[in-house]
Structure 1
Amino acid sequence: MRRAGHSVYSGAVRKAPRLNAILERVNDARSVDVAELAGTLGVSEATIRRDLQSLSSGGLLVRTHGGAIANDLDAEIPTQIKAVRRQTEKSRIGAAGAALVPDGAVIGMSGGTTTLELARALVARQRIAIVTNALNIGSELIGRAGLHLVVIGGVARPSGEMVGPAAEAMLGNYHLDMAFIGVDGLTAEHGCTTYDEMEAQTDRAFLSQASRAVVLADHSKLGLVRFAQITGVANIHQVVTDRDASPAQLESLRAAGVDVVTV
């Protein structure tokens, strides 16, 4: 257990990683204390109070006198915070996903911080066509020699994903050898789920155009069920996750017929 006032960091932590660290702490401990967080993260108590107020305004925790407690409501974490959560695991998952892609393949990629790591692992590959609805993935891959990039349009979500009927109609023009999707929840019983119903429908369009469906998800997504279902596990061929995933969750997915890879 970390002691109040004892920093595990070499200096003050920048805002996005700091907000991530606060959320991780409140998720683990269910409550946090301003003084302890200030000491752990190497910043002032005034900074921590502002951080807690910001996270509380976003519905990600509940502000209390002297600290905060966990908010168990199903709130979507902002993209700028997601981007620094479990970065090491996501990088490994992205690299493992890239290893599944043969030269000459046409692949679809939905948005998400883990699929972004897949894109980064593919930048040096040759003769691959990529269809995506994510602006950050498009920005990562544009102009890369050897890659043919298609970015589809639609209604823009705060995450930078283009969704809705226009996106789905454009996806209907392409056959995909593989589709890689990110999820916010994954269980054998409820399948792949996410926070937004329009995003779920566009993700289904990716899967319907693909010969092979692959889910990229770090261990924190396993065992969770979110608002909108993307698809059941019967429609998923493979899941790539990290080695910290719950053995019980991995076993339930395998028992449902899903090929699960841990990295």
Structure 2
Amino acid sequence: MLIAERRSRILAHVRARGYASFREIAEVVGISESTVRRDLQAMVAEGLVNAVRGGVGRAETDPAPESTRPESTRPEYARTQSARTQSARSENQSPENARSESARPAVGTAPAATLADDGRAGERSAIARYASHLVTDGSAILLGPGRSTLELARRLTGVGSLTVVTNSVPVTTVLLEHEHVELVMVGGTLRRSIQAFVGPLTEQGLQGLRGAQVFLSGDGVTAERGLTTPNVFAAAADIAFAAAGKQVVVLADHTKIGQETMCQTVPSDRIDTLVTTPGADPAALEDLRAAGVDVVVVPLVESIDK
């Protein structure tokens, strides 16, 4: 069993129960207690679970299951109260106040999730420009989630007939209107933090597929561990993506080089090409080259082509 899959099962069990002992987790997941302790040590460090005597509990940032939460904190209660408030307002509201209220955001709503800019749009633009030249007309490629792969998707509109397999909602949105792109959306459980589908259904959907290239991004790249991500759910999906590509291309700006996080997705000996930007740690790049990775450092360009 892969580390990411194992830890995903552990996390799901702890979240469902609120608390689990080492022995209980070992029996549920089907691994030894020593392996459980190693996994939990890493998961506690990442803030995914909370260490307690004899086992672990749900992290403080995790919401309790709705069945155990006070009625006033449940979604259906909030919806009922909101409806009552709106009804009361409509009975006594003047036209002027009605227009004023309509301009305000609805209570309990939030703006749609976006991949917020982190100030490195220019680097991603340079990386995507180079990566787009690796794609040939008539080929089939796979795109994982992330800002760099999303930028690459925007540049694929100039490529001829193409098949793109992805689990990324933003990538799908970008390519929807381009008829020359045959779009294959791999479903599963939506992970809103990365705006992508993950889980067993996603991994099963990728089995049997084969693409000329798979383009992936992550939070760290080193010669020792390859490409890594802190998200156990995304890691398992990325592993399945890597297995489906003949050539693995990693897109990572200079801040990711020499860094590593909890979950390995692609070992360095499986990475064919790394596309990065100036400023990356030279020693880390040399180590990656020594590991057999074709390292490409692309010059910076403006984020918007002229």
> TM-score scaled by structure 2?
0.59
Identify if the C-alpha distance between structure 1 residues 82 and 219 changes in structure 2 by more than 3 Å, giving closer, same or farther. Answer: farther
1:220 to 244, 255, 272: 255
1:115 to 131, 139, 149: 149
Compute the displacement of 1:83 (Å): 2.8
Distance, in Å, in 1 between the alignment partners of 2:275 and 2:266 is 16
2:173 alignment counterpart? 139
Deviation per CA, 1:208-238: give whole Å up to 9, x if none. Answer: 1111100000011111111111121011101
Distance, in Å, in 1 between the alignment partners of 2:221 and 2:158 is 30
- Which residue identity is paired with 2:127? I
Pairing 1:160–2:210 present: no
- Which residue identity is paired with 1:238? T
Q: Would you say the 8 A contact 2:136–2:159 is kept in 1?
A: no
Distance, in Å, in 2 between the alignment partners of 1:126 and 1:90 is 22
- Which residue identity is paired with 2:137? D
- Which residue identity is paired with 2:189? V
Pairing 1:200–2:221 present: no
1:48 alignment counterpart? none
Distance, in Å, in 2 between the alignment partners of 1:244 and 1:80 is 27
2:279 to 244, 249, 258: 244
Q: Would you say the 8 A contact 1:192–1:233 is kept in 2?
A: yes
Q: How many residues align?
A: 186
Distance, in Å, in 1 between the alignment partners of 2:256 and 2:155 is 21
Percent identical? 39
Compute the displacement of 1:82 (Å): 4.5
Compute the displacement of 1:80 (Å): 4.5
Compute the displacement of 1:145 (Å): 2.7
Identify if the C-alpha distance between structure 1 residues 82 and 256 changes in structure 2 by more than 3 Å, giving closer, same or farther. Answer: farther
- Which residue identity is paired with 1:125? V
Distance, in Å, in 1 between the alignment partners of 2:115 and 2:208 is 34
* Unmatched runs of 5 consecutive residues or more in structure 1: 1-58, 60-78
Give the 5 Å matches for 1:168-207.
168-207=203-242
Computed over aligned residues only, the root mean square deviation of the Cα atoms, in angstroms, reads 1.5
Stretches of 4+ aligned residues off by more than 2 angstroms: 79-85
Q: Would you say the 8 A contact 1:197–1:229 is kept in 2?
A: no
**Structure having the larger proportion of residues in helix:** 2
Distance, in Å, in 1 between the alignment partners of 2:160 and 2:201 is 29
3-state SS of 2:157 partner: coil
* Unmatched runs of 5 consecutive residues or more in structure 2: 1-46, 48-112, 299-306
- Which residue identity is paired with 1:152? V
Compute the displacement of 1:111 (Å): 0.3
Compute the displacement of 1:102 (Å): 1.0
